[in-house]
Amino acid sequence: MECPMPTINTNDADEIKQILSEVKSIAIIGLSPIETKDSYIVGKYLQSVGYKIIPIYPKEEFILGEKVYRSLSEVSEKIDMVDMFRKPASADSLLEEVLKRDDVKVFWLQLGIVNNEACEKAKKAGLKVVQNKCAKVEHQRLVK
């Protein structure tokens, strides 16, 4: 399997710090209920430092004490950032859902996830874009 290099990449520490300082609510796409999974560990950390976590997952009723939604379109509350823990190809359809909303400001693909085409489209649509970075690691490095 070939892993693409990110061509749309946010390496600017000030921009990432600003993103993580401004967002209040984060929809985590693929937030697993399994405590040893990266998505759970990251979600639990982000929740512990004050972010409102909105789990998007195909099963479960509650994860981390929060109501679970099956898709972004089901969420009626405000979402500032979408943080994706899924295969890179699913970023395309996720972005379509994101662009139907007027509240999402940040499209974040977790560490190891690269989809240059989706990120380019998101950036052209006016979203702040981060890919191939862990929100937990970046928060610990820049904000905490």
Residue type, 48: S
Q: How far is 8 from 13, CA to CA, in rounded Å?
A: 15
Give yes or no for a contact between 32 and 43, defined as CB atoms under 8 angstroms apart: no
User: Which tokens hold the place of 134?
Assistant: 């862990």
Asked whether the predicted pLDDT for residue 14 surpasses 50, the reply is yes
Q: How far is 11 from 70, CA to CA, in rounded Å?
A: 31
13-142 in CATH: which number?
3.40.50.720
pLDDT in tens, 94-143: 999 999 999 999 999 999 999 999 999 999 999 999 999 999 999 999 99
User: Which tokens hold the place of 25?
Assistant: 């609510």
pLDDT in tens, 32-90: 999 999 999 999 999 999 999 999 999 999 999 999 999 999 999 999 999 999 999 99
Q: How far is 69 from 6, CA to CA, in rounded Å?
A: 29
Could you tell me what percent of the chain has a pLDDT over 90?
A: 90
